[in-house]
Structure 1
Amino acid sequence: MEALKAVILAAGKGTRMQSDLPKVVHTIDGKCLVDYVIEAAEGAGAEDICLVVGYKHEEVENTISHKDDVTFVLQEQQLGTGHAVKCAKDFLGKEGHTLILFGDAPLITSATLKQLLKHHIQHKNAVTVLSATIDDPTGYGRIIRNESGEFIKSVEHKDANEEELKSHEINSGMYVFNTWELSQALDKIQPNNAQGEYYLPDTLAILKDKGLRVDAFALESPEDINGVNDQKQLESAAEIIRRRKKECTL
C-alpha cells in the first residue's frame, strides 16, 4: 500500500469551551482530545502525522501524550481550514495519500478511517469526504448527490439553495486525499468569501474540474464524526468513549 500521512487541525482556541486551555488539550479519562485522534490515525496506518497548532501552541506541544510521534507546524493566523493545511504543505510531500482530521474529534476510530481509505483506493478517488446522515443538518456543509447516488458537490449551509438544504448528508470536514493532487489544489484555493478565509472544501470543486474522481464515503452512524465544541459535548464524548471501552470497541 502507498504511504499514508495525516494532518490534524488543532490550532483553534475553542472559545465555547469557556476555558483558557487550548480546546484539543481538554481531557477524557486523562487523555487529551487530540491524542485520541492521533491514535486513530496511527491505527489506520498513518506513518507520519502533522499537528497544525496555533493558540497557546507551546501548551499543546508540551501537554499531549504523543508529542514525540508527531511533527508540529504553526498556523500563526487562523485563516480557514485550507490555510491550515497549506501551513503543512512542506510536510505533505508528493506521494501516497493524506488524511485530514480534526484535533477536537476524539470519537473518530481507526476502523472508520480504514474503511474510508479502502473506499478511496478502490474507487481511485482524488479525494474522498467522510460524511454521515444526521437528523438536524442545520449549519453543516451538505453533500449533494445525483439520482444515481453519485457525488456532485459539497456546499456550505449558507451557500446552499432550498433544494440542496433538503440533504441531510453532511460533510464531516475529514478527508483522505491523493497527496499530489491535494498539494496542487491548495495552490488554487482563494479567499473569495465573506470571511476572507481559505476553505479546504474548495479543493473538491478544483479537483472535479480537473476531471478527477471526487467522492463521499457515508458512515452508517454519525457518532464517529461528532466534534467537541463545549463542555456539554465534551461530556457526551466522554460517555461514548466509556461505553466503547466497556464494549471493547476502542
Structure 2
Amino acid sequence: MSNLHYPDLQVCVLAAGKGKRMRSNLPKVLHKVLGRAMIDHVLHTVEALRPKAIAMVTGHASEMVRAHVGQPVNLDWVIQDKQLGTGHAVKQCEKVIRDVRDVLIVCGDTPLLSVETLARLVDEHRAANTDVTVLTAKPENPFGYGRIVRDGNGNVTSIVEQKDATDEQRLIGEVSSGIYCVRHEVLFDLLHAIGNSNAQEEYYLPDIVPLALHAGQSVAAIAMNDSDEMVGVNDRVDLAHVEGLMQKRIIEEWQRRGVTIEKPDTVRIEAGVKIGIDTVIQAGCYLIGTTHVGDECRVGPNAVLVNAWLDDRVNVFAFSHIHGASVGSDAIIGPYARLRPEAQLDEEVHIGNFVEIKKSVIGRGSKVNHLSYIGDTVMGSACNVGAGTITCNYDGANKFVTEIGNNVFIGSDTQLVAPVKVADDATIGAGSTITRNVAAGGLTLSERNAQKYAAGWKRPQKDRN
C-alpha cells in the first residue's frame, strides 16, 4: 500500500506509560520485538499512512523515548506529566493537533498493527461520515480488554474496561483495540467532558463513545480481520508472545518471497533483515539486526549473522558467526568460522573451520582454511594462508597493520608480527616468525630467531597433467 497518503489526518501515538509489569528501568515502548523497539514498529506503520503529522505522547522516562526516536520532521512531542488515563493523554495533544479532518489514535505497545488495517479504519470511517469509529476484534481470550457493549439493534452504546465490567459484560467477546479514528472537530469537546468516576479514577478514552451518542453524534465499530494485530504488551510474557506472532509472520512472508526456511520454528529472523530469492536458511539460524543475505545463499545450520552483509551465492557452513562483516559473492565460510566487525571479504574467498577474521580485508580468491587468526590485515587476491597462522597485531598498547600482497603463500604455524609487509608472490615457510618485511617472490623462513631470504627460489607447481 505504498500509494497511501492522508494529508488531512493526524496520528496520536500513546507512549506515556511506565509499564510497571515489565519490571524494568526501560520504558515499556523501548523494549524490543525482533530487534526493534515496540515504538519503532508502531511509528514505521503509521508513517506509511503519510499523515500530516504525528503527535507522540510520552510521560515516564520521556527523555529516553525522545532520545531513541530522534526528531522526525513531522513529529510533535507531547508530555503527559501525570499518567491519568488514555483520555487524559490524548487531551494533552490539543495544542499540536490542528487543521486536519480526523485524528487517528493508536497505542505505542501494539507492534503487530498493520498499515492495511489502519488505512481500512480511516477509509471506512470517512466513507460512513462517522464522528467516532473504534477498531474492534474478537480474540479467543478477551480478558483484559474493554468490552464493546451494543444495544438490541447492534449499535455501539459503550466500551467498558475489564476492571469496571459486570460479570455479564465480561462474557462479551468483542473488544476494543484501543485504536480510534475521530473527527477532529468533536474530539476535544468529548475529551473535556470525560469524567474519572471509575475504579482507577482515570480519564478513559473509551468514555468518548457514550458521550458522543448522548450528544447525537455517530459512532461506529469496525472489526479487524486479524485479532493478533491488537495484542498489546504489558509484561515480558506478553513480549515473548508478541515476538512469536511477529516471527511467524516474518518467516511466512520470506517464504512467500522465495526463501527456503528449514524448521522455521527453530529460526530467528529479525524485522530489519533482508533475504534474496532461492536462499536456504537452515535449522537453528539467527539472522539479527540489519543483516542482508543475497540471492542463492545457504546459511546454517546454527549459524549466527548479526548486522552482516552477504552477497549472492555465499555458503555459510554450520555454527559460523558473522558479526558486522561483509562477504563477497561465491565465498565459503566455515564451519565454525568467526568474522568480526569490519572484516571485508571479496569474491570467492574461503574461510574455514576455527578461523577468526577481524578488521581485515581479504582479497578475491584468497583462502584461510584452518585454525588461524587474521586481524588488522590487508590481504591481496589469490593468497593461501596455512593452518595455525596468526597476525600478531597488538603489543599490549597499540594495534598495527599487516599488509599481504597478491598470490602470497604462508606456511602453517606462521606468526606475522605487525607492522610488517609481505610483497606479491612471496612464500613463507611453515613455522616462521616474521618480524621484518618480506620481499617479493622467493622463499622466506625463520630458524629460531634468524630470518632468511632465498633469492630466486621457485614455488613448487601443481602437476596439471
TM over 0.5: yes
Counterpart residue number, 1:167: 172
Moved more, 239-248 or 107-116: 239-248
Q: Is the 8 A contact 1:107 1:223 kept in 2?
A: yes
Q: 1:64 to 1:95 in 2, by over 3 A?
A: closer
Counterpart residue number, 1:106: 111
Counterpart residue number, 1:225: 230
Moved more, 98-107 or 85-94: 85-94
Counterpart residue number, 1:237: 242
Greater share of strand: 2
Counterpart residue number, 1:29: 34
| Equivalent residue for 1:20, pick from 9, 22, 25 | 25
Determine helix, strand or coil for the equivalent of 1:131. Answer: strand
Q: Is the 8 A contact 1:185 1:203 kept in 2?
A: yes
For residues 56-95 of structure 1, the aligned pairs below 5 Å read 56-64=61-69, 67=72, 69-93=74-98, 95=100
The Cα shift of 1:47 comes to 2.5
For residues 71-220 of structure 1, the aligned pairs below 5 Å read 71-93=76-98, 95-220=100-225
Determine helix, strand or coil for the equivalent of 1:24. Answer: helix
The Cα shift of 1:65 comes to 6.1
Q: Is the 8 A contact 2:232 2:238 kept in 1?
A: yes
Counterpart residue number, 2:421: none
Moved over 4 A (4+): 65-69
Q: Which is higher, the Rg of structure 1 or of structure 2?
A: 2
**Counterpart amino acid of 1:202?**
D
**Residues 134-171 of structure 1: per-residue CA shift (max 9 Å, x gap):** 22223321112234433232222344344433310001
What CA distance in whole angstroms lies between the structure 2 residues aligned with 1:14 and 1:198?
18
Q: 1:217 to 1:5 in 2, by over 3 A?
A: same
Q: Is the 8 A contact 1:92 1:183 kept in 2?
A: no
**Counterpart amino acid of 1:174?**
I
Q: 1:248 to 1:50 in 2, by over 3 A?
A: same
Q: Is the 8 A contact 1:94 1:180 kept in 2?
A: no
What CA distance in whole angstroms lies between the structure 2 residues aligned with 1:59 and 1:67?
16
Q: Is the 8 A contact 2:190 2:211 kept in 1?
A: yes
What CA distance in whole angstroms lies between the structure 2 residues aligned with 1:194 and 1:165?
16
Unaligned runs of 5+ in 1: none
What CA distance in whole angstroms lies between the structure 1 residues aligned with 2:72 and 2:8?
21
| Equivalent residue for 1:4, pick from 9, 16, 21 | 9
**Counterpart amino acid of 2:46?**
A
Q: 1:149 to 1:93 in 2, by over 3 A?
A: same
Greater share of helix: 1
**Residues 178-221 of structure 1: per-residue CA shift (max 9 Å, x gap):** 11110221121122223221111111111111111101111232
What CA distance in whole angstroms lies between the structure 2 residues aligned with 1:65 and 1:27?
17
Moved more, 205-214 or 233-242: 233-242
What CA distance in whole angstroms lies between the structure 1 residues aligned with 2:187 and 2:57?
16
Identity of aligned residues (%): 36
**Counterpart amino acid of 1:97?**
D
**Counterpart amino acid of 1:54?**
G
The Cα shift of 1:234 comes to 1.3
**Counterpart amino acid of 1:120?**
H
**Residues 120-140 of structure 1: per-residue CA shift (max 9 Å, x gap):** 111111111111012222332
The Cα shift of 1:67 comes to 4.9
Unaligned runs of 5+ in 2: 1-5, 255-270, 272-465
